[in-house]
A and B are shown apart, each in its own frame.
Chain A
Amino acid sequence: MINYKKRIPFKKLDDEFAVISEEIEKLKIPEGFLQFVLYSISELFANIKEHSKADRISIEIKIDKDVFLVKVSDDGIGLRKSYLSKGIFPKDDSSAIEFALSGLSTKDPKERGYGLYTIRKFIETLDGTMELKSGKSLAIIGRNKIQFKKILGETKGVNILLKTKIKKVDFYKIVK
């Protein structure tokens, strides 16, 4: 079981991933699900490293007998500003979230940004929940649907929550 909660500086992301992964690898959970857990945390960390310009990151990970939950929040520039800085123009925060979930890469328009796109695919397959907050928008992602809500105030950076039951899953089939 894992019950991990920490706020770390940006430069510690790499070290922290190693600490977290060492613990996760010890768990007795289905192999495909274990790969999904490491995949999703690594992609969330990589997105922060490449796009967020954050100073600090809050991480919460809970894994018990049945449920996996991860919450990652950064205090960076958020999705919309990240796209704008690369010459991509989402009209608002909800559009920026949609871009990210559909796999629009800020690096190269010819290449897909697979991070959030694939995590979404996993969450849908596992019948879990994914919430993504950035700027003035909150997206709640369920099977084949995204529900957008306007939030009061403004979220700094990006907040992501993933929650799903621990199940057997064919990692390689979904990651394609």
Chain B
Amino acid sequence: MKIKIKKKFLIFREEAQKMEKISKKELKHSNSVCFDFSEVSFVSRSFVDELLNILAKEKRIKIVNLKPNLNKFLNIVKKTKRKTTSVV
């Protein structure tokens, strides 16, 4: 199942939570859910942080067509999250 994100700017955690809700519904009758980010030009750190929490919980959610600069940013946030959560 492929879902195209129609928003250009994703800044709030609740937008990632909305994606999770949609995924839960879709995954009842599908093996995976694929979100197409081709129209997204900006993601905030808060959004990415929440998205990474969701992706870590549910491996069947995939993100595709992420612009290179957003992908780079996502990887930086992922790396920093790993660092901070391992120091307990």
A: which residues have CB within 8 A of B?
13-14, 17-18, 21-22, 25, 35, 38-39, 42-43, 45-46, 49-50, 110-112, 114-115, 118, 172, 175-176
Contact = CB atoms under 8 A, between A and B. Distances in A.
B60 interface: no
16 contacts: A18-B7, A21-B8, A43-B44, A43-B45, A43-B46, A45-B12, A45-B44, A46-B13, A46-B46, A46-B47, A49-B14, A111-B85, A112-B80, A112-B84, A115-B45, A172-B76
Determine the main DSSP class of B at the interface with A.
helix
Interface of B: 7-9, 11-14, 41-42, 44-47, 49, 69, 72-73, 76, 79-81, 84-85, 88
Contacts of B8: 18, 21-22
A39 B84 contact: no
| SS of A interface (majority) | helix
